[in-house]
Chains A and B, each alone.
Chain A
């Protein structure tokens, strides 16, 4: 599963603003910055809850947080992180707890990369 996850995100951008544009239609740089910041504010809380739930193996919370994050990340263009959440949610729903630990290790890593990308982007806009 981890191999397939790695291969699924290979070559995928951390943050793809074209995806964001395709969902929202044409956005100005200010609008993009606003959407990214709103995503970051809300997703940070869910990310923290996901991390806590993973540490505690709180299944319901893991499913709920991964479920919320996958869509909002996908819509914002955070493709790698969205794909990670899709994998996590699917595994939890399939009760594949053994695979979870391996996959959970990607959560802080991909989030950090996403955080940096958003900061770079919003810094650029500002």
Chain B
């Protein structure tokens, strides 16, 4: 029996499952369940309410379950970073389990599960404390993960892409792709979209999200031009679209915190254009070669418009401006 009342946030994008979790938790005396069908709503609830426990599916609309977990543990939300977190998922893939363990998730519940079994698990974790590290420990871990994509050879998704690459046929001249320089093989591996060295928007988090988008779209470009299997292209496309979604989410939050109305006005104009391209990418038939090539060309054009002044400036210029 619980000695005080607890608020449990349940997150699942399948309404039936979400209602099931909600019902199971609400059955427990002194437990009050809040529900969210996507990561965004979950974040809002985590920001506004005092949450004592999170039960989440992993595969939910961005930010996904793992992302929610990382942000809680890293202390990026008003909710206590050491609350019990239970994953409620239909799959237990090794990579997900490993990451869950790294962030000290309390339990991994595999769907489907009965009301009674779920109730027992919830009670157990509300009454048995697990030792959780300090928020700064997870924040460092999270930061390391966010920084990882910048180092191309070590990026896991890129490794996956490489493993399913078929023998590439002779490259056709596409006209729009970044010119393949014959000088060095290194240059041939140059990213489709790259962040200009020593440059910044002046907002570190925004830089990071833009770099992530550039990386993901470059991966998609990579698998597309190398004529990889459809499954690889679909996966990379999905990641690129998620990076756009997340960029939108971050912009919305940063806007509230940061000033610079003129900057945001111009950035949002660019963001609207990017969202349109993102929608087209999401719906594109990847077997339609010329259509995708044309779309990539427009992404490239968008990138060139965005990573230059006035939105992105050389770091030295920004520092000088600060000194002035």
Report if A112 contacts B (CB, 8 A): no
Q: Kindly provide the distance from the CB of A38 to the nearest chain B CB, expressed in whole angstroms.
A: 6
Cα A57 to Cα B285 in complex, Å, equals: 10
In the assembled complex, the CB of A7 is this many whole angstroms from the nearest CB of chain B, namely: 23
Bound-complex Cα distance A39 to B14 (A): 10
Known contacts A25-B116, A42-B14, A74-B111; A67/B19 CB under 8 A: no
Chain A residue, CB-CB nearest to B15: A42
Interface string of B75-95 (1 = CB under 8 A from A): 000000000000000110000
CB pair A72–B16 under 8 Å, yes or no, is yes
> Would you call the interface of chain A mostly helix, strand, loop, or mixed?
helix
Asked whether A22 lies within 8 Å of B114 as measured between CB atoms, the reply is: yes
Q: A72 vs B19: C-alpha distance in the bound complex, in angstroms?
A: 12
* A30-67 interface with B by 8 A CB criterion: 35, 38-39, 42-43, 56-60, 64, 67
Is A97 an interface residue, CB under 8 A from the partner? yes
Residue of B whose beta carbon sits closest to that of A77: B112
How many A residues touch B, CB cutoff 8 Å? Answer: 26
Say yes or no for A6: interface residue by CB 8 A criterion.
Answer: no
Asked whether B97 is an interface residue with its Cβ less than 8 Å from the other chain, the reply is: no
The answer to whether A97 touches B14 (Cβ under 8 A) is: no
Q: Is the pair A58, B111 in contact by a Cβ cutoff of 8 Å?
A: no
Q: Does A75 contact B (CB under 8 A)?
A: yes
Complexed CA–CA distance, A76 and B16 (Å): 10
Q: Which of A23, A39, A58, A70 contacts B113 (CB 8 A)?
A: A23
Report the stretch among B1-9, B151-159, B185-193, B229-237 that lies at the interface.
B229-237
CB-based contact B14/A72 at 8 Å: yes
- Mask, A72-113, CB within 8 Å of B = 1, is 101110000000000000001001010000000000000000
A15 to B: closest C-beta gap in Å: 15
Q: Tell me how far the C-beta of A92 lies from the nearest C-beta in chain B, rounded to whole angstroms.
A: 8
Contact pattern, B 8-39, Cβ under 8 Å of A = 1, otherwise 0? 00000111110110000000000000000000
